[in-house]
Amino acid sequence: MAQMNMIQALNSAMDAMLQADPSVILMGEDIGYFGGVFRATEGLQRKHGEHRVIDTPIAEGAIIGAAIGMAVGGLRPVAEIQFADYIYPGFDQIVSELARLRYRSAGDFFAPVTIRTPCGGGIRGGQTHSQSPEGIFTHVSGIKVIMPSNPFDAKGLLITAIEDDDPVVFFEPKRLYNGPFDGDPNKAAIPWSTHPKGEVPEGIYRVPFGKADIVRSGSQVTIITYGTMVFVATLAAASLGVDAEIIDLRSLVPLDVDTICSSVKKTGRCVVAHEATRFSGFGAEILAIVQEECFWDLEAPIQRVAGWDTPYPHAFEWEYFPGPARVGAAIKAAMDPA
């Protein structure tokens, strides 16, 4: 066991897998010699060699297209897209090819590619460094979509992703790389070293897909969330003194519908929170499922907390970011609707 921040946990996952499986390779911009702009692949090229940790040109479409070919050729590529904001040039290869190979070839071909990419705001990164596009990918059948919220989950989920024979898009909330963040920018930053989920086993372990984590058990309201919002929601509920059950989905596709529904049936009240833009966001899917499965147990309308439907602004970071106030208002509305 060791205390790790999320970056170290991800590094540890990749290191362990490079070690255990010779078919695993890493590729991406600045990841090899330099170790990645977020240091996620630090030291790995030195340790495992240039043929295993490959620096690529700035061509996201080529990175993903080549990763597919490599995977078909028997390798197990982990491709980094430097920021989720830049994933779109590779969107065609992901949606039209990666997601469908197994299906259209009736299982004769498949590509076990993992695409890792930092996402999310709270870092004053503006619209090209702060997006959360997970909702665009959850809509495409054939890819798994994962977003951990802490180092323990990050390492275990990344290992599961690399071992999975299905393609995975693995979103890493960059605001959580160094420590949990509860949405209050004026607080001093807390490192992962003091957090229980910063305790990470050294070797290989797996966190399964399709299983949500109940971060906090509660009886009054269910908060369904993922990524940075896990910590924001925790703060909001605590500030209100509400006994909230907080669920960290961490696996969006496949989705743990059973945990969601058991919780809402127990509490009768539900808040869905994500950083991504509101309209057509992944939260809308959760709302629809909760409405379908738990309708007769609902005491109040399901509340949704999300980013505003604008491009991510630079100067208005804290007005944009769905902080504890926004989550708090939603919790109140769920408890006592007008």
Partner 1 sequence: MVSPSRLHLPRAPARPGEAPDFSYLELSPAGAVGRPEVTAKARDIAPLALELVRVLDDRHDAVGPWHPHLDPGELQIGLRHMLLTRLYDERMQRTQRAGKISFYIRSLGEEAVSVAQCMALRPGDMLFPGYRNQGLHIARGLSLVDLMCQLLSNTRDMCKGRQLPVMYHSAAGRLFTISGNLATQFPQAVGWAMAAAIKGEDHIAATWIGEGSSAEADFHHALLFASVYQAPVLLNVVNNQWAISTFQANAGGEQRSFAARGPGYGIAGIRVDGNDFLAVHAVTQWAAERARTGSGPTLIELVTYRAAAHSTSDDPTRYRAKDDYLHWPLGDPIERLKQHLIKLGEWSEERHVAMTAELDAMIAASWKEAVTYGTLSDGPRLNPDLMFEDVFKEMPQHLQRQRALMRAEKG
Partner 2 sequence: MSAPGEYVFKMPDLGEGTVEAEIVRWYAKPGDLVAEDQAIVEVMTDKASVEVPAPVSGRVLAITGSAGDKVAVGSALIVFQLLESADQASAAVPRAAPATQAAPAAQAAPAAQAAADAAGAAGAAAEFGTSSAVPAGGSAKRVMTSPANRRRAREAGVSLHTLVGSGPRGRILQSDIAAVIGDPASPEPRSSEPRSSDPQTTEIKVIGLRRLIAERMSEAKRTIPHFAYVEEVDVTELESLRSHLNAQHASAAAPLTYLPLVVLALARTLRAFPQCNVRYDAERGVLVRHLSVHVGIATQTPDGLKVPVVRDAGSRSVWDLAEAIRAVTDRARANKSSREELSGSTITVTSLGKLGGIVSTPVINAPEVAIIGLNKAVERPVVLHGAIAIRRIMNLSSSFDHRFVDGHDAAAMIQRLKAYLEHPASIFIADPTRGEA
Examine residue 67 and tell whether it contacts partner 1 (CB under 8 A). Answer: yes
Examine residue 329 and tell whether it contacts partner 2 (CB under 8 A). Answer: no
Question: Do the Cβ atoms of 149 and 161 come closer than 8 Å?
Answer: no
For partner 1, the closer CB: 50 or 299 = 50
Residue 141 interacts with, from partner 1, partner 2, none (CB under 5-8 Å by kind): partner 1
Show contacts with partner 1 in window 237-296 (CB under 8 A).
254-255, 257
Is the omega angle on the peptide bond into residue 148 within 30 degrees of 0, that is, cis? Answer: no
Query: Does residue 106 sit in helix, strand or coil?
Result: coil
Can you tell me which of 190, 289, 298, 325 binds partner 2, judged by CB under 8 A? 298
Instruction: Judge whether 129 counts as a catalytic residue.
Output: yes
Binding mask 99-138 for partner 1 (x = CB under 8 A): --xxxxxxxxxx----------------------------
Question: Do the Cβ atoms of 312 and 127 come closer than 8 Å?
Answer: yes
If we measure between CA atoms, which residue out of 64, 57, 50, 124 comes closest to residue 94? 64
Single-letter amino acid, residue 56:
T
Examine residue 293 and tell whether it contacts partner 2 (CB under 8 A). Answer: no
Q: Exactly one of 129, 195, 274, 314 is catalytic; which is it? A: 129
Examine residue 300 and tell whether it contacts partner 2 (CB under 8 A). Answer: yes
CA distance 5 to 15: 15
- CA distances from residue 34 to 44, 66, 106, 171 in whole angstroms, order as listed: 10, 21, 40, 21
Rounded least distance, CB 55 to partner 1, Å: 9
Is the omega angle on the peptide bond into residue 57 within 30 degrees of 0, that is, cis? Answer: no
CA distance 223 to 240: 14
Residue 186 interacts with, from partner 2, partner 1, none (CB under 5-8 Å by kind): none
Show contacts with partner 2 in window 264-283 (CB under 8 A).
268
Examine residue 165 and tell whether it contacts partner 1 (CB under 8 A). Answer: yes
Point out which residues bind partner 2 (CB under 8 A). Answer: 268, 295-300, 337-338
Catalytic residues: 129
